[in-house]
Amino acid sequence: MAAPRLLLCLLLACACLGSLHAAPPPPKVVCFGDSITKRGYPAELARLLGVEVVNAGVGGNTTTAALRRLQADVLAQHPTHVVIFFGTNDSRLDAPKVHVPVDRYVAQLRQMITACSALPARVVLCTLPPINPEPYFQRHAPEPFAAAGGLAAVLGTYRDAVLALGRELNLPVVDLHQLLVAHPAWLSPDGVHPTDAGNAIIARLVAEKLTPLLPAATPTSP
C-alpha cells in the first residue's frame, strides 16, 4: 500500500508544481465606453500593442447605461485589462433623462472598477475629451451649461472627478481632456467624435498607460 500512496503523492505534487508554473493567460483588453470608443480607437490600439482588443463601445452610453451591460460586454469576455472611458454623455445637462450627476458618475465608475478588479483585470481610466462648443451647441441647448458656469467648467468637473478617483485607487488615468488639446486633428467637425487621425491619437495615448501593465512591458509602436 505504501508504494501506491507514494505515487499518488508524487502525482499531486507534480500537478501543484505545474499549476504554479502555468503560463498566465494572454493579454486581452476590453475598451469599455460610448460612441467615442465605438468610433474605432480599439482597433488601432490592438495594432500598437499586438494583443487582442475588444471594442465594447456603445453610442449614447452613460455610466448608468454601461453598468447594465457590464457583465455581458466586459466581465464575460474575461479580460486581463479594461479601459473605462465615459463622461461625454453623463455631462449632458441639457438632457435630464440622460444626465448623470458627478457624484453618481463617480460611484458608477467605482462599481465598474470593483467588478473588473475582482476578475482580476487591471483597469485604466480615461477622462472625457474636450468638446468644441460651436458645433456642439448647434445640437444641444446651451442654457443649462451657462447656468452651471459654462461648458468648460462642467466638463472640467467630470475630468477632475476621474483624476481624483484614479489617485484614490492608484489607477493609471489617461487625461484625454488635457492631452487632446495639443492634437486638434483628433476632433471631427461635430465637435465631439474623433476623426480617423483622432482614433490613432487616442490609441497611442491609451497605449502609453497600458504598456507598463502588460507582460514584458511590450513597447508601443512609434
Is the pLDDT score of 23 beyond 90?
Answer: no
pLDDT digits (tens, 9 = 90+) for 77-103: 999 999 999 999 999 999 999 999 999
Q: How far apart are CA 89 and CA 66, in angstroms?
A: 11
Buried b (16+ CB within 10 A) or exposed e, 133-158: beebbeebeeebbeeeeebeebbbeb
pTM over 0.85? The answer is: yes
Is the pLDDT score of 16 beyond 90?
Answer: no
Instruction: Write the CATH number for 132.
Output: 3.40.50.1110
Burial of 216 (0-12, 13-18, 19+ CB in 10 A): exposed
Q: How confident is the model at residue 25 (pLDDT cuts 50, 70, 90)?
A: confident
Domain of 146, in residue numbers: 26-217
Residue 216 confidence (pLDDT): 74
Report if residue 1 sits inside a domain: no
C-alpha cell at position 146: 451657462
Residue pointed to by grid coordinates 501543484: 16
pLDDT digits (tens, 9 = 90+) for 123-177: 999 999 999 999 999 999 999 999 999 999 999 999 999 999 999 999 999 999 9
Report if residue 21 sits inside a domain: no
pLDDT digits (tens, 9 = 90+) for 45-57: 999 999 999 999 9
- In total, how many domains does the chain have? 1
Angle at alpha carbon of residue 69, lines to 44 and 213, rounded to 5°: 45
Q: What is the mean pLDDT of the chain?
A: 91
Report if residue 10 sits inside a domain: no
Q: How far apart are CA 158 and CA 153, in angstroms?
A: 9
Residue 7 confidence (pLDDT): 45
Question: Regarding predicted confidence, which is higher, 5 or 29?
Answer: 29
Report if residue 17 sits inside a domain: no
Report if residue 9 sits inside a domain: no
Is the pLDDT score of 41 beyond 90?
Answer: yes
Q: How far apart are CA 153 and CA 172, in angstroms?
A: 23
Stretch 194-219: mean pLDDT: 90
Is the pLDDT score of 109 beyond 70?
Answer: yes
Share of the chain above pLDDT 90, in %: 85
Report if residue 19 sits inside a domain: no
Report if residue 20 sits inside a domain: no
Report if residue 63 sits inside a domain: yes
C-alpha cell at position 57: 463601445
Q: Is 26 left (phi over 0), alpha (psi -120 to 50) or beta?
A: beta
